A = this chain, B = another copy of it.
Amino acid sequence: MTQQRRAILDAICGRGSHPSADELYHDLRQRLPRISLATVYRNLETLASSGLVGKLEHGCGQRRFDGNPGPHHHVRCVCCGRIEDLRQDMGVPDAEGIGRQLGGRYRVVSVCVDVLVVCPGCQ
| Residues of chain B lying within 8 A (CB to CB) of residue A93 | 90-92
| Residues of chain B lying within 8 A (CB to CB) of residue A114 | 111-114
Q: Closest chain B residue to A120 by CB distance?
A: B105
Q: Which of A98, A111, A115 has the most CB of B within 10 A?
A: A115
Q: CA A60 – CA B118 in complex, angstroms? A: 25
| CB neighbors of B among A19-75 (8 A) | 57-60, 75
Do the beta carbons of A75 and B97 come within 8 Å of each other?
no
Q: Which of A58, A111, A119 has the most CB of B within 10 A?
A: A111
Do the beta carbons of B90 and A101 come within 8 Å of each other?
yes
Q: Which of A88, A106, A118 has the most CB of B within 10 A?
A: A106
Q: CA A115 – CA B114 in complex, angstroms? A: 11
Q: CA A57 – CA B83 in complex, angstroms? A: 14
Q: CA A118 – CA B63 in complex, angstroms? A: 22
A-B contact pairs, 23 of them (CB 8 A): A57-B57, A57-B58, A57-B60, A88-B101, A90-B97, A90-B98, A91-B92, A91-B97, A92-B92, A92-B93, A92-B113, A98-B115, A105-B120, A107-B117, A108-B116, A108-B117, A110-B115, A111-B114, A112-B114, A112-B115, A112-B116, A113-B113, A114-B114
